[in-house]
Amino acid sequence: MPLRLASLAPLLIAATLAANAPTLRAADLPAQAPADWPTYLGGKSRANYSPLRQIDRGNVARLKVAWTYDTGEKGEYQCNNLVIGGVLYTATASRRVIALDAATGRELWKWDPASVRAGPGGRRQRGLVYWQNESGGERRLFTGIGNALFALDPSTGRLIESFGEKGVLPLTTGTVNDDDAITGLNTPGVIYRDTLILGGFGGPGAIRAIDVRTGARKWIFHLIPRPGEFGHDTWPADAWKTATGTMPWCGQSLDEARGIVYVATKTAEPDFYGGFRHGQNLFANCLVALDAATGKRLWHFQIVHHDLLDKDLPCAPILLTVTHGGKKIDAVAQGTKHGNLFVFNRVTGEPLWPIEERPVPASTLRGEQAWPTQPFPTKPAPLMRQRYTEADVSNISPEARALSLDRIRLSPNFGPFPAPGLRESIMFPGFDGGMEWGGGAVDPHGIYYVNVNEIPWILQMVETRRADGTPLPRGERDYLIHCAACHGLNRKGLPEAGFPSLLDVSQRRTRDEIFKLTRTGFGRMPAFAQLTDAQRDGILAYVLGEDSAAGRPDEAAPAAAKAKKGKAKATAAPEAPTPPYAFGGFRRWTDHEGYPAIAPPWGTLNAVDLNTGEIKWKVPLGEYPALTARGLPPTGTENYGGPVATAGGLLFIAASADETIRAFDQATGQILWSAPLPFTGNATPSTYVVAGRQYVVISAGGGKSGRPSGGAIVAFALSD
Q: Determine the pLDDT at residue 526.
A: 57
Q: Determine the pLDDT at residue 563.
A: 33
From residue 40, give the alpha-carbon distance in Å to each of 82, 94, 257, 332, 607.
7, 19, 18, 17, 22
Measured between alpha carbons, how far is 321 from 344 in angstroms, rounded to an integer?
11
Indicate the pLDDT class of residue 33, thresholds 50, 70 and 90. Answer: low
Of 96-100, 152-156, 313-317, 497-501, the range with the lowest mean pLDDT is 497-501
With a cut of 80, say whether residue 394 has pLDDT above it. yes
β 686-690/693-702 pair status: antiparallel
With a cut of 90, say whether residue 550 has pLDDT above it. no
The mean pLDDT of 349-355, rounded to a whole number, is 98
Q: Determine the pLDDT at residue 19.
A: 32
Q: Determine the pLDDT at residue 146.
A: 81
Q: Determine the pLDDT at residue 7.
A: 29
- What is the residue-averaged pLDDT of the chain? 88
Q: Determine the pLDDT at residue 12.
A: 28
Measured between alpha carbons, how far is 617 from 667 in angstroms, rounded to an integer?
9
Of 168-177, 506-515, 595-604, 625-634, the range with the lowest mean pLDDT is 168-177
With a cut of 80, say whether residue 300 has pLDDT above it. yes
Q: Determine the pLDDT at residue 468.
A: 77
Q: Determine the pLDDT at residue 523.
A: 61
Q: Determine the pLDDT at residue 8.
A: 30
Topology, domain 461-584: Cytochrome Bc1 Complex; Chain D, domain 2 (1.10.760)
Indicate the pLDDT class of residue 556, thresholds 50, 70 and 90. Answer: very low
The mean pLDDT of 498-527, rounded to a whole number, is 80
Helix (H/G/I), strand (E/B), else coil: 551: helix
* Preceding omega of 30 cis (within 30 degrees of 0): no
Of 243-247, 259-263, 358-362, the range with the lowest mean pLDDT is 243-247
Measured between alpha carbons, how far is 380 from 353 in angstroms, rounded to an integer?
8
The mean pLDDT of 596-625, rounded to a whole number, is 98
253-285 pLDDT per residue, tens: 999 999 999 999 999 999 999 999 999 999 999
Domain ranges for the chain, please list them.
Answer: 1-133, 461-584
In eight-state DSSP terms, residue 590 is: B
Contact 599, 608 (CB under 8 A): no
224-244 pLDDT per residue, tens: 999 999 999 999 999 998 888
For the beta sheet containing 660-665, the strands, ordered from the edge strand earlier in sequence to the opposite edge, are 49-50, 644-646, 650-653, 660-665, 671-676
Indicate the pLDDT class of residue 575, thresholds 50, 70 and 90. Answer: low
With a cut of 60, say whether residue 357 has pLDDT above it. yes
β 355-359/440-442 pair status: unpaired
397-424 pLDDT per residue, tens: 999 999 999 999 989 999 999 999 998 8
The mean pLDDT of 179-201, rounded to a whole number, is 86
From residue 319, give the alpha-carbon distance in Å to each of 56, 263, 331, 332, 333.
24, 12, 6, 5, 6
Q: The dihedral of CA 406, 412, 415, 417: what is its sign?
A: negative
From residue 606, give the alpha-carbon distance in Å to each of 1, 685, 697.
44, 17, 22
Q: pTM for this structure?
A: 0.86
3-state secondary structure 148-193: EEEEECCCCCCECCCCCECCEEECCCCCCCCCCCCCECCCCCEEEC
In eight-state DSSP terms, residue 32 is: P
With a cut of 90, say whether residue 178 has pLDDT above it. no
The mean pLDDT of 556-582, rounded to a whole number, is 50
Q: Where are the alpha helices (DSSP H) in 2-130?
A: 5-8
The mean pLDDT of 654-682, rounded to a whole number, is 98
β 644-646/49-50 pair status: parallel
DSSP string, 614-634: EEEEEEE----HHHHHTTPPP
Please name the residues in contact with 257: beta carbons below 8 A apart, sequence gap of 6 or more. Answer: none
Q: Quick one: CA torsion of 231, 368, 371, 390, rounded to 10 degrees? A: 150
With a cut of 50, say whether residue 447 has pLDDT above it. yes
3-13 pLDDT per residue, tens: 322 223 222 22
With a cut of 70, say whether residue 553 has pLDDT above it. no
